[in-house]
Structure 1
Amino acid sequence: MSKKVVEVKTLKVGKYVVLDGEASKITSLSTSSPGKHGAAKARLEAVGIFDNQKRSIVKPVDTKIDIPIIDKRVGQVLSIMGSDVQLMDMENYETLELPIPEEIRDQIVEGAEVDYITALGNMKIMRVK
């Protein structure tokens, strides 16, 4: 579980955050001005990278929040096994089995190179090179 801690006010749309234990990409971020007795609040909406679920939170802007450390890697397709694909990492040559995302199912062929990410123990194929 590789993650780091930052304040909510440093986040931006398009960055990643950990919500409910899942790595999520921020889709909208709005802050309210501080009130007479309260601190400024931030409303954060994000979509899970691996499960595509929408999540939202409201927190004070000076609160600490977890950020996942996302590792982007390149792999080569060794074989296609139904809805899964067997990949070989191009850096350390280990083999992995990952599910094929629906949006790139027709682009994946044996021998092609793909970009995949790892975050919080999960892996996902992002695109075909």
Structure 2
Amino acid sequence: MDTELNDPQYIAALEEAERMLGFRLERFLGTTDAEPPNAADFKRIATVQTFGAAWPRTEHLDTRTRALISVTIAATLGVLEPLRGQLRIALNNGVTKEEIVEAFIQISAYAGAARAFESYGIAAEVFGEQEP
């Protein structure tokens, strides 16, 4: 990870991720001995694309709107661990719990009740992490 820490785009993306999530991402970005050497490249590129390129684009969509869209996408796809992060980003950027519930009503109507209920279970857990 030493070479990545010399990359200003990667550093900026990590700082943006921390601002949005409220914690550092490095604990998720390390590699194991079982992973091939280019695994670190994948994690760096994905981090820069997400937090260095997509999230900062606020000219047409503000961060709050982008966060609610991201919750909806992750829930609809059924990617539950990424959904957990998207929910945290949404709540940290002004989306209310009530607005998130309304998004799940839409998800239920268009992606199906089973997918919505499964994903909402993650939302309920994240809501429990938040101070009342």
Superposition TM-score, scaled by structure 1 size: 0.21
Higher strand share: 1
